[in-house]
Structure 1
Amino acid sequence: MTHMHITAWVLALILFIVAYVMYNQGKGKPGKIVHMILRLDYLFILYTGGSLLGHYFGGGNLLPEAIVKGVAGIWVIAALEMILIKTSKNKPAKSFWIQLVIALIITLVLGFWRLPM
C-alpha cells in the first residue's frame, strides 16, 4: 500500500504542476480538465493514506505521529487545491504557497524519517 500511496502523491504533484502552468498560460479549459483529474487523484491519496493510517490504530506508540502526518497530508491537499483555485481566478496565492511548503515538509519528514511504513 505504501508504494501506491507514494505513486499517487507523486502523480498529484505532477498534475498540480501541469495544471498550474496551464492556468498561468491562460489555458483555462485544459487546466480545468487536468485539475479535475487531480481531484480524482486526491481521492486515491486519501484512500491509500487512510489505509496506511489504519495500520497504526492496531497499537504502538507512533499513533500520534501518524495522526499528525495524516492531518498534514490533508493540509497539503487543501493548499494545492487553494493554489489552483486562486491561480485560475488570477488572484494572489502567496499564503497558500507558504502553507504548502510547511505542510509538505511536515508530511515528508514524518513519512520518510519517523514512521516505519
Structure 2
Amino acid sequence: MTHMHITSWVLGFILFAVALVLLNQGKEKPAKIVQMILRLDYLFILYTGGDLIGGYFASIQMPLFAEAITKAVAGIWLIAAMELILVKKAKGKPVKSWWIQFIIALIIVMVLGFVRLPYGVSL
C-alpha cells in the first residue's frame, strides 16, 4: 500500500503543477478539467493514506502513533493548501500565505513519512 500511496501523491503533485501552469497561461477551462482530475486523486491519496494509518492503529506504540496522527493531519493540510492555491489563483487573489503553508506542510509530511515512520524509507 505504501507504493500506491507514494504513486498517488506524486501524480497529485504532477497534476497540481500542470493546473498551475495552465492557470498561469490563462487557460481556465483546461485548468479546471485538470483540477477536477486532481480532486479525484485527492480521494485516492486519502484512501491509501487512511489504509497506512490503519496499520498504526493496529499496533499502538505511543511515539509512532502520535507521529502518524501528525502526518495524517499535515497531509490533509497539504491537500487543503494545494486546493486553495488553485482556487485563489483562478480567482486572481493572493496566494503567498497558502504557498508558505504548502511548504511547511510538505516538509512535515516528508520528514515524518520518509525519515521517522517505519512504513516509509528509514535512514
Alignment length, in residue pairs? 117
CA positional deviation for 1:90: 1.2
* 2:89 aligned with 1:87: yes
5+ residue gaps in structure 1? none
Measured in 2, the distance between the counterparts of 1:116 and 1:70 equals 14
Runs of 4+ aligned residues of structure 1 deviating over 4 Å after TM superposition are none
5+ residue gaps in structure 2? none
2:31 alignment partner AA: G
Measured in 1, the distance between the counterparts of 2:116 and 2:69 equals 13
Describe the superposition over 1:45-91 as per-residue Cα deviations: whole angstroms up to 9, x where unpaired.
00000000000011223110000000000000000000000111111
- TM-score calculated relative to the size of structure 1: 0.98
Measured in 1, the distance between the counterparts of 2:110 and 2:102 equals 12
**Which SS does the other structure have where 1:26 is aligned?**
coil
Identity of aligned residues (%): 69
2:85 alignment partner AA: I
Measured in 1, the distance between the counterparts of 2:54 and 2:65 equals 10
Q: Please list, as runs of the form range in 1=range in 2, the aligned pairs for 1:35-114 lying within 5 A after superposition.
A: 35-59=35-59, 60-61=61-62, 62-114=64-116
* 2:31 aligned with 1:31: yes
Measured in 1, the distance between the counterparts of 2:89 and 2:69 equals 30
Which structure has more RCO (C-alpha within 8 Å, separation ≥ 6)?
Answer: 1
